[in-house]
């Protein structure tokens, strides 16, 4: 597809007339086209979705899992080079990286994966269909009504996963994809529209510039009319939505986080390879991406291991090449390397390995200079023991989510308990960091459980 041909960043339920006035924006390597933000159109979309709720409720859980999973499986099979190239251009990823990322993401959209998710969340999935007797009462997991999902634009597929989860709990959904996840989200929504008329009526996707003055009335109307808002994004995005959403609107928030690895080189021979892939995957744009590596051992062993990590990252430049960094990111990397080089000249505590360009960087330093910057930048901090690991992570407790272990095992109760106490919500072997299981506890919460509201009767 020609890069200068606009890609539609919207799809509306069939009952809504197609918009006639559009705006254009640049999203990665694509030009996207989206409806002119209009207060009245926002109200029409939410009202139409609300009307679709009754029909969506006619699905039985087993049927809904089969339909959504079937769409996911067919969609994955249809990801040819052209579609992958479109996703890669939109997300600012290389085609090879986009293909790898989508290969991991689409595994959570299959029938078997969605069935596992439902069964992991609900002891009796029948609670999604109606009241189920439990002790002296009956309980039900009820749809929250119309959900609006603000997707992250950093990793393709996150917004689709969020949309599928809403539909699993029978919530009609308006999705605002991040600018870097428009192409994939709209294509998947079209597949849902083709699959079933009830889904078509219950799914809308529409991009708009979040927080922009031109979108203020539109966004205010969407927030005022929705029953639940799910938001992925940075601190500013979440605080802005929190400040403007009505008190009666339920908010489900997923802020940015920092991924960490704890490595014992003597206990894991392949740790440089696993660490390199965890750092390189989606160019460190994901919430599970590894930025900081705590290395058990002394300075000499740390230098040797960092050299091995640098070799693996260099090799990945060929097999999973990074995308070209935008000017702002190039400047940030250049400035970081310059600052560290000056400090390194005055101290033996900082050493740097890097590509000739911005492709990757390995920094051996103390934890006091850690600065998550992305672009495959691995910060390696030597620590003397497991207790020192916990001390080093204490300043990051509010942004801690995924911790990958290589050498230490997840059965190491003292370490794992300490990590959980600090705020880590996912502790896994390092080679499993990049693609969580479908039923993972996202930010420590059940991905479907956080969407439903419970009703009981006696």
Q: Is the pLDDT of residue 2 over 50?
A: no
Calpha distance 381→368 (Å, rounded):
9
Q: Whose structure tokens read 């091995």?
A: 308
pLDDT at 349: 82
Q: What is the pLDDT of residue 184?
A: 97
Confidence at residue 121, expressed as pLDDT on a 0 to 100 scale: 95
Q: Reply yes or no on whether the pLDDT at 328 is more than 90.
A: no
Contact 4, 33 (CB under 8 A): no
Q: What is the pLDDT of residues 435-451, one digit of tens each?
A: 999 999 999 999 999 99
Per-residue pLDDT, averaged over 318-338, amounts to 89
Reply yes or no on whether the pLDDT at 323 is more than 60. Answer: yes
Task: Please provide the average confidence, as pLDDT, over all residues in the chain.
Answer: 93
Residue 1 has pLDDT above 80, yes or no: no
Cα-Cα-Cα-Cα dihedral sign, residues 329, 236, 256, 369: positive
pLDDT for 189 equals 98
- What residue has token string 């986009």? 98
> From CA 377, how far away is CA 393, in angstroms rounded?
18
What are the structure tokens assigned to 418, written together?
A: 């300490």
Residues 302 and 89: their CA atoms lie apart, in Å, by 37
Residue 326: per-residue pLDDT = 81
Average pLDDT over residues 296-316: 95
List domains and CATH numbers for the chain.
Answer: 7-256 (3.40.605.10), 258-432 (3.40.309.10)
Q: pLDDT at residue 51 above 90?
A: yes
SS3 state at 334: helix
114 vs 410: which has the higher pLDDT:
114
Q: Which residues contact 103 (CB under 8 A, 6 or more apart)?
A: none
Give the lowest-confidence range in 269-283, 337-351, 355-369, 381-395. Answer: 337-351
Give the pLDDT confidence score for residue 348 in this predicted structure.
64
pLDDT tens-digit readout, 118-148: 999 999 999 999 999 988 899 999 999 999 9
Q: Does residue 185 contact residue 151 with C-beta atoms inside 8 Å?
A: yes
pLDDT of 140-179, one tens digit each?
Answer: 999 999 999 999 878 999 999 999 999 999 999 999 999 9
The answer to whether residue 35 scores a pLDDT higher than 80 is: yes
pTM, rounded to two decimals: 0.93
Report the percent of the chain where pLDDT is more than 70: 99
* Strands in 20-150 per DSSP E: 22-27, 30-35, 132-134, 137-142, 147-150
For 17-46, what is the mean pLDDT? 93
> Please, what's the b/e burial string for 363-397 (b: 16 or more CB within 10 A of its CB; e: otherwise)?
bbbebeebebbbbbbbbbbbbeebeebbebbeebe
């Amino acid at each position: 597809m020609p890069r200068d041909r606009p890609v539609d960043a919207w799809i509306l339920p069939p009952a809504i007339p197609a918009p006639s006035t559009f705006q254009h924006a640049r999203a990665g390597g694509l030009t996207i086209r989206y409806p002119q933000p209009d207060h009245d159109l926002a109200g029409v979309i939410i009202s139409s979705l609300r009307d679709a709720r009754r029909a969506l409720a006619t699905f039985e859980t087993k049927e809904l899992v089969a339909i959504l999973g079937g769409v996911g499986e067919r969609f994955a099979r249809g990801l040819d080079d052209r579609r992958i190239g479109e996703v890669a251009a939109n997300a600012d990823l290389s085609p090879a990286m986009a293909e790898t990322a989508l290969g991991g993401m689409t595994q959570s959209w299959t029938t078997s994966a969605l069935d596992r998710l439902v069964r992991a969340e609900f002891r009796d999935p029948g609670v999604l269909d109606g009241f189920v007797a439990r002790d002296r009462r009956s309980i039900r997991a009820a749809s929250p009504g119309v959900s609006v999902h603000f997707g992250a634009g950093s990793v393709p597929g996150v917004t689709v996963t969020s949309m599928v989860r809403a539909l699993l709990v029978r919530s009609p959904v308006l999705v605002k994809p991040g600018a870097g996840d428009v192409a994939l989200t709209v294509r998947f929504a079209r597949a849902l529209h083709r699959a079933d008329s009830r889904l078509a009526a219950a799914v809308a996707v529409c991009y708009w510039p979040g927080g922009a003055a031109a979108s203020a009335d539109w966004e205010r109307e969407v927030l005022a009319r929705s029953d639940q808002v799910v938001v992925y994004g940075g601190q500013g995005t979440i605080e802005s939505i929190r400040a403007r959403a009505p008190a009666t609107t339920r908010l489900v928030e997923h802020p940015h986080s920092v991924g960490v690895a704890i490595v014992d080189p003597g206990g894991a021979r392949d740790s440089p390879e696993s660490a390199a892939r965890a750092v390189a995957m989606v160019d460190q744009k994901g919430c599970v991406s590894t930025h900081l590596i705590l290395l058990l051992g002394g300075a000499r062993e740390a230098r040797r291991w960092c050299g091995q990590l640098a070799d693996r990252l260099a090799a990945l430049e060929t097999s999973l090449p990074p995308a070209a960094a935008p000017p702002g990111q190039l400047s940030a990397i250049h400035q970081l390397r310059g600052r560290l080089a000056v400090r390194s000249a005055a101290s033996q505590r900082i050493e740097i390995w890097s590509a000739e360009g911005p492709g990757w960087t390995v920094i051996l330093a103390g934890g006091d200079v850690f600065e998550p910057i992305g672009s495959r930048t691995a910060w390696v901090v030597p620590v003397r023991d497991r207790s020192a690991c916990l001390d080093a992570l204490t300043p990051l407790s509010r942004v801690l989510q995924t911790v990958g272990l290589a050498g230490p095992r997840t059965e190491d109760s003292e370490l794992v308990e300490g990590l959980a106490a600090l705020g880590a919500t996912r502790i896994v072997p390092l080679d499993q960091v990049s693609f969580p299981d479908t039923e993972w506890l996202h930010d420590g919460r059940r991905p479907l459980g956080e969407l439903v509201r419970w009703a009981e009767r006696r």
